[in-house]
Structure 1
């Protein structure tokens, strides 16, 4: 299996299709101006444009070897020629799924993560991108927000910690002022996070090995997944130990995933 995914890449491609279609079906035309909870200034229409741009952005990396060639969401929002959100989303989703289906997951492909330069990276990245966008839209509509299957949630926890927290912040030169260590535990999986002024380190760990840490975040995989992505409040997970450490982790994740 290519890259660091915890689940099969065939499963990830299925998730991309399912979550992308669910996202499109969740957004009726009269909901475009609804605000997304916890994301000031972001509406359902903005999320749909961001998702469509994300699909085309992934295609641009594959086609142009890492040189994105698509308009940013703000430009698309003001472009009178831009397609309606749902139509644009579906068009980008279909093109992306077709492209990914033409290549094996372990086939080399440009990405922005040095540890995984394969088409499998994009299956994983866009599956979770679609899942998070779908959660946003369903939350904005005020109805039931579908749960994230346990295997998908565990893989998503792994991705947001290793890729976004452990890699993305390093490329931006961002770290935390409060030196601390944290453990994240969900089901039979665990991760160790070390925050120092010199940088942030993230490792997979044994669930029984999170003893010498300042704080632990634990809970059902779907709840931990949503909390790490800033899509669930503190009471949905267990925060054990130093609350300064968990608050700093929360803040760092918001910078990483912005």
Structure 2
């Protein structure tokens, strides 16, 4: 997961630089690439505090070159913060739930991967990025079994990929497809998964 953070952050930055700060982000219609980079820089900085049990809300600079440089620093700090043993206790912002360094490593890997897709959607020639079945399946599992309970959501849904099926509650909706497509669908990104019923209760945070 540490390697995944690096790989997808590099891909995100590559796409952001190629698209330029004012390019619109089709995956996130209210954002420009500048907004997207500022967001991921903030998230990485915030995760440093969570992983080290010193939660703070960082303030990224506003200028494009400045926020890029600041993000580079936060990425290095994040690498160091997440380099400790995965079972090390960390801060949890979710009442009633504990967290570990491993939890935040996993969370940042998937946060960064999804936003890489967003940065790439801003390019005129969108690259054919695909996630491996193992990584995408882990992202599905993290979304369904880690994030949803912490957000107080308990939807009835069945999610099926060729490798695995997840069933939450009494299914009133079904999502089926490759792990890559299901992963994207759960996060509200373009996909080719099959949906039956209403997935609104699963809407990504």
TM-score, normalised relative to structure 1: 0.70
SS state at 2:105 partner: helix
Q: CA deviation at 1:182?
A: 2.0
Aligned to 2:90: 109
Q: Check if 1:182 corresponds to 2:157.
A: yes
Q: Greater Rg, structure 1 or structure 2?
A: 1
TM-score, normalised relative to structure 2: 0.87
Aligned to 2:111: 129
SS state at 1:141 partner: coil
SS state at 2:122 partner: helix
Residues 5-24 of structure 1 aligned to structure 2 (within 5 Å): 12-24=1-13
Q: 1:177-234 CA distances to partner (integer Å, 9 max, x unpaired)?
A: xxx732001122221233xxxxxxxxxxxxxxxxx7333211000100001001125x
Aligned to 1:222: 180
Q: 1:110-167 CA distances to partner (integer Å, 9 max, x unpaired)?
A: 2335555211011101101110110000011132141111111001011112233232
Aligned to 2:77: 95
Q: Check if 1:156 corresponds to 2:139.
A: yes
Native 8 Å contact 2:175 2:194 kept in 1: yes
Q: CA RMSD in A?
A: 2.4
Distance 1:45 1:145 in 2: 22
Residues 138-217 of structure 1 aligned to structure 2 (within 5 Å): 138-142=120-124, 143-168=126-151, 170=152, 181-194=156-169, 213-217=171-175
SS state at 1:239 partner: strand
Q: 1:35-59 CA distances to partner (integer Å, 9 max, x unpaired)?
A: 1114232111111111111111011
Q: CA deviation at 1:99?
A: 2.0
Aligned to 2:41: 52
Native 8 Å contact 2:182 2:193 kept in 1: yes
SS state at 1:144 partner: coil
- 5+ residue gaps, structure 1: 1-11, 195-211
Q: CA deviation at 1:96?
A: 0.5
Q: CA deviation at 1:108?
A: 1.6
SS state at 1:217 partner: strand
Correspondent of 2:193 among 212, 231, 237: 237
Aligned length: 203
- 5+ residue gaps, structure 2: none
Native 8 Å contact 2:24 2:122 kept in 1: yes
